[in-house]
Chains A and B, each alone.
Chain A
Amino acid sequence: MAFNVTRRKFLQTASLAAVALPLSEVIASESGITRSPLEPPGSLTDETVSGGICEMCFWRCQLVGKKRGDRLVKLEGNPKSIDNGTAICARGNAGIQFLYDPDRLKFPLKNVGERGKPVWKKIGWTEALDECGKRLAEIEKKYGPQGIAVFPHGSTAKYPMHFFERTVGTHNVSEASFFQCRGIRDTAYMATIGRAPGEFVDMPNAKVIFLLGSHIGENIHVSHVKQFIQGLQNGAKLVVVDPRYSASAAKSDIWVKIKPGTDTAFLLAIMNYLVTTKKYNAEFIEEYAEGFDKFKEGIKEWSLEKAAKECDIPAAQIKEVAELLAANAPNVSVHPGRHVSWYGNDFQRQRSLACLTALLGAFYVKGGWVPGKNPKIGKTSWVKKEHEGGHNLNENEDGDLKHPFTPPGTPTELIRDAALTGKPYPIKGCVIWGQNPIQTIPDQDKMKKVLQQMDFVLCVDVMPTDATMWADILLPEVSYLERYDLVKAGTQWDFAQKHQQYIAARMPLVAPMFERKDQVFITNEIAKRMGYDKDIPVKTIEELVDKDLEVAGLSLDKLKKEDGIHLMDGKDPYTMPEDFEIILYNEELEDAGFPGVPTYIPVEQPPAGYARLLYGRVPVHTFNRTQNNIWLKNAMPDNPIWLNDELAAKMGLKDGDMVGLVNQVGFKSRTTTTVKTTPGIRKDAIFMAHGYGTANPLMTVAVNAGIDDTSLMTKATVDPETGAHGMRNTFVKFVKDGKVIDIPAAV
C-alpha cells in the first residue's frame, strides 16, 4: 500500500485544510493528553512502597516495591519481615516481568468463536457481568445450584468460591490445592492427630531431617528453605527418600533410592523395627496414642527384608535409617510433604508418616512437628445459607460417603463423571477462577469434554492459560501487586529465636492497569445479577481486609503506618495442647471399609519397555503459572527429561537430544523436550519438571516450550479414602525422530 502523493506535496496543497479540517467532525473531544503546567525534567520521584505479599507461588513472602513515578522497578523482601526477611526467590524477583507482561489479560473478553478454539472480542464490564449473571442464573434455575461446578485456586478464589458454595448452594467445588496436591496429607493427619500438618517441622532445631519425596531447594518457599538450611548448618543429619538424586538428596547423609510407589512399605518396616526392637518412645505412646496394640499387630509382617525386596533397596539401609531416627528421637523432623497426590495409595503413606512421628515422640518438641502459635485474624466471607440436601456427589444411595476422608469440596472425578453422564444430575455451568484444570487434572481429554458440554463457562484469571481457551466469558483479574487481599499471620521462622508473631495484609504496590478488577467487585456484581444482593458480605476488598484485621485490633491504615507488617510478642510453640492425641489404629477408617492400621497397597508397575513418569518442581517456576515470564523462561527454557545414564547409552540417547514421549495407551506428547542423562535416577522411572508445554498460543513465551507432563496422564487414578487423584501412574516410552524407543530397564 502506498499513496500517489508525497507527504510534502500533500501538506503544501491549498486544499489541505479543506481535506483535513472536516475530519474533526468525527473525532471525540476526550483525550488522554491534556495541557498542563510545565514540569522540569527529572521530576519523577523514587520511593519504596511496603505492604506487598508475593504470589509468584503460594508461600506469600512479604515484599516492598521500589518505584520510579508510578512504575514498579524492583521487588525486595520487606526488611521488617520475620518470615522471609529481605530475601525473595527468582520467581519473586520476576514479579515485575509478570506485572508488565504484554500477554496478560487486560479487558473482559467474549468468545465469539468455539470453546477450545476461541475468537476473542473485547467487551465492556457491564456487558460481561450481565452475561455472566444471566447465564449462571438461568443454569441455577433450570438445574439447581448443583448444576454449577467451580474450579477455584489461590487467594482471590476463596471469596467467589464461598459465594457459589455457601450462598448459591452448589457442593460441586474442586480445589486443585486439595484434590491434586495436599488434601490427602491434610485428611490423613486429621485422621491421625486431629490436625492438618502444614509443613510445620522445626527443621532449624532438628537432629535429623527426614524427607520423603520432598525436594526442598527445587521447590523453593523462602522461609522453609531457610529452616532447612539452618537445620543442616546446625548439624542435622539428612535422610532423603526419593527415586531421584534431587537437590535435597545432594545434601543428604542417606539417600534412599526407593522404587516408586513403595514408600509405605518402607515406612512400615521402619516402624515395625522400632517397635520390635523397643526403640520407639514408649512413654510418649503410652501417654498420647490410641490403638497401639492393633497397630503393632497390623504392621508386624513388615520385616526389613520384606520391605527391602518390595522397595528395591538394601535391608541394611532401612535399618540404618531406623537406627538414625531412634538415636536422635524425639528431635526429628518427619516432613509431612506438600504435593502428595502420587500413586492412589497416598492416604496410607501419609498416615504412616504421622504414625512414625508419633513413635519417635516427635510432636511439639524441639526439632519435631511443631506448629507456630499464630495470632488470630478474621475470615470474612459469605455466610452459609441452608440448602436442600441430596446433591452431594460423594454420597451413595445410603447416605454414606464414597470417599469418607475427602478434603473440603467434592472429588474432581465425581464432578467430571456427573457432568459427562448427566447422572445423578446435569452440571451445565462452570466457573474457573485462577485454576488451570486442563494442566492440573489428569485426563485432559475428559476435562475438555466436560467443558464442552457446559451451557456456560466463565474464567477469571490474570493470564491466558490452557483452561481460559474454553471460556465463553474471560474476565481479567488484578494481580497480587495491584490489589488488597489476604491477611497473612505467622511467627518467626526459627523457634530458637525470640518468639514473635506477625500480621501482614496484601496491599497494592501499584495501581491496577487497564480494566482489571478484584474478586470482590466481580463476585458481588455477578451475585447482584443472580438475585443475591442482600447476601453480599462486604462492598469492597478493602472492607473485607479491614474486617479481618479488626479481629486483631488492626486496620489497613494502622498496617500502612507500620510498613505493612504488625509485629508482636509470640508464644512458646512447644507446649502440647491438652486435647492432643494420636490415633494409631483408626476405627472410623475400618468401619468405612479401609484399613484402620497404616497399610501398604501395591500399585501397578511399568510394563516391559516403559518407565514411570515422575514430575516435580524447579526453583524458577511455579507450575504453569510462571511459564510465560521471559526472565524465568530464560533461566530454564524447557523441562529436560532425567534418564538414567546407563539406559541412555543402551537407547542411543545423549544429553540435549530432542525427544517426545508416548504413554501406555499410545498417547503422544504434542511437543518435544531435551534429554538429561544422569546416574541420579532409577532405571524404572524418568523425571521432568511439571507445568511446561502449554498449548495456549496467547502465552507467547511459554507456548509449546517443553513437554506438558499432565497431557500424558490419560489415566486418572483415585485415592480411595479421599477421592483425590494419584498422578504418578503414567508409564512412558521415548519418541525420537518419529521412532518409538523402548526403555530397556524393564525388558
Chain B
Amino acid sequence: MPNFSTADPIAAIYRFCAQSMHYPEAAWFTDDYLKKLDGLLDALGGEEERAALPGACPGGRDWLEDLQVEYTRLFINGVPHTAAPPYGSVYLDKTLRGRYSDEILAFYRSLGYSFHKDGDLPDHIVYQLEFLSFLAEDGNRTGEEEFLRRFFLPWFGMFADRVKGQAHHPFYRIIVTIIDFFTKEEEEHGVQRNEA
C-alpha cells in the first residue's frame, strides 16, 4: 500500500504525521513504519519517546488491536467519552461540521485544492496535515503559514492537550508531540528551511 513519493522533506514529514493519525491497520502500521518513526525520533533527540515505543508496539497482532481500541476510544466513540474528536470544528464551534469546517473547505479551494473523501469531514486532522503537505510540496509557504495561523493552531493545542492528558497508550502522545513540534514554531518564526 505505501507508495507516496515527494522530493520535499517537509511535505514528507506532514504526510507522515497525517498517515500516523489514520486508523491503525496492518496494511500500513508495519515494522517498517515503526522503524521510520524511530528514525525520526532519533533525529529529533526524542530518547524518552524512543524508549517508550518498543514496549508499546512490540509487533504481532495483539498490540495492534490495543492500538485500534485506543484510536476508537480517543477519536471515534470512547468511554468515559470520546476523548479527543480529531475535528477542529468540535473545539471551535462545539459541534461537528460547524462553520469552521465550511471555512476550511473554502480555504482549500481558494488555494487550488479540493477535498473529496466521501463521508468524512474536511476539518479532520489527517486532511489538514495532508493539505499542509501539498502546500509544502508546491512551495506555497505563505499559504502554509496562513493556514497554520488561521486554521490549524487555534484548535490543535486543545486537541493535543486532550490526547496527552487522556491517552492510555504512548503512541498517540508521541505522534501529537511530533505534530506539535512541526507546526507550533511556524506561528512564531515562519517557515525556516535550510536553503542550502
- The reply to whether B19 and A1 form a contact with Cβ atoms under 8 Å apart is no
- The reply to whether A698 and B105 form a contact with Cβ atoms under 8 Å apart is no
- The reply to whether B185 and A27 form a contact with Cβ atoms under 8 Å apart is no
- The reply to whether A19 and B110 form a contact with Cβ atoms under 8 Å apart is no
Contact of B79 among A20, A122, A698 (CB under 8 A): A698
B68 within 8 A of A: yes
B106 within 8 A of A: yes
CB-CB under 8 A from B116, the residues of chain A are 32, 34
- The reply to whether B77 and A105 form a contact with Cβ atoms under 8 Å apart is yes
Binding site for A on B (CB under 8 A): 1-7, 9-10, 12-13, 15-16, 18-19, 23, 28, 30, 32-33, 36, 39-40, 43-49, 65, 68-69, 71-73, 76-82, 85, 87, 90, 94-98, 101-102, 105-106, 108-122, 124, 126-127, 130-131, 134, 138, 164, 173-174, 177, 181-182, 184-185, 189, 192-194, 196
Given A31-B130, A515-B119; 19 other pairs, CB 8 A cutoff: A6-B185, A11-B10, A21-B7, A24-B6, A26-B2, A27-B19, A28-B1, A29-B4, A32-B117, A34-B113, A35-B112, A36-B113, A38-B111, A44-B105, A101-B95, A105-B77, A109-B76, A120-B76, A697-B80
A521 within 8 A of B: no
A700 within 8 A of B: yes
A24-B5, A100-B98 known; A7-B130 Cβ under 8 A: no
Residue with the highest number of chain B CB atoms closer than 10 Å, among A1, A40, A698: A1
CB-CB under 8 A from A68, the residues of chain B are 102
Interface mask (A28-50 → B, CB under 8 Å = 1, otherwise 0): 11011111111111111000000
CB-CB under 8 A from B9, the residues of chain A are 16-17, 19-21
- The reply to whether A36 and B15 form a contact with Cβ atoms under 8 Å apart is no
CB-CB under 8 A from A697, the residues of chain B are 79-81
21 sampled A-B residue pairs with Cβ under 8 A: A1-B177, A2-B177, A11-B193, A16-B194, A20-B13, A23-B15, A24-B5, A26-B30, A26-B32, A31-B130, A32-B116, A32-B117, A33-B108, A35-B112, A35-B134, A39-B110, A41-B110, A68-B102, A103-B82, A120-B76, A514-B120
Taking residues whose C-beta sits less than 8 angstroms from the other chain, chain A's interface range is 35 or more
- The reply to whether B69 and A119 form a contact with Cβ atoms under 8 Å apart is yes
Interface residues of A in 552-576 (CB under 8 A from B): none
Contact of A38 among B15, B39, B40, B110 (CB under 8 A): B110
A120-B78, A512-B119 known; A24-B15 Cβ under 8 A: yes
A112 within 8 A of B: yes
Nearest-Cβ distance from residue B169 to partner chain A, whole angstroms = 13
CB-CB under 8 A from B69, the residues of chain A are 112, 119-121
Q: How far is the CA of A343 from the CA of B77 in the complex (A)?
A: 38
Nearest-Cβ distance from residue A518 to partner chain B, whole angstroms = 13
Residue with the highest number of chain B CB atoms closer than 10 Å, among A7, A101, A120: A7
Nearest-Cβ distance from residue B41 to partner chain A, whole angstroms = 8
A34-B113, A118-B79, A120-B69 known; A27-B44 Cβ under 8 A: no
A243 within 8 A of B: no
Of all chain A residues, the one with the shortest Cβ separation from B15 is A27
Interface residues of A in 158-177 (CB under 8 A from B): none
Contact of A122 among B45, B71, B102 (CB under 8 A): B71
- The reply to whether B181 and A26 form a contact with Cβ atoms under 8 Å apart is no
Of all chain B residues, the one with the shortest Cβ separation from A15 is B43
CB-CB under 8 A from B33, the residues of chain A are 26
Of all chain B residues, the one with the shortest Cβ separation from A463 is B77
Nearest-Cβ distance from residue A595 to partner chain B, whole angstroms = 50
Q: How far is the CA of A38 from the CA of B184 in the complex (A)?
A: 28
A103-B82, A120-B78 known; A36-B109 Cβ under 8 A: yes
Interface mask (A492-521 → B, CB under 8 Å = 1, otherwise 0): 000000000000000000011111100000
Q: How far is the CA of A107 from the CA of B46 in the complex (A)?
A: 34
- The reply to whether B96 and A100 form a contact with Cβ atoms under 8 Å apart is yes
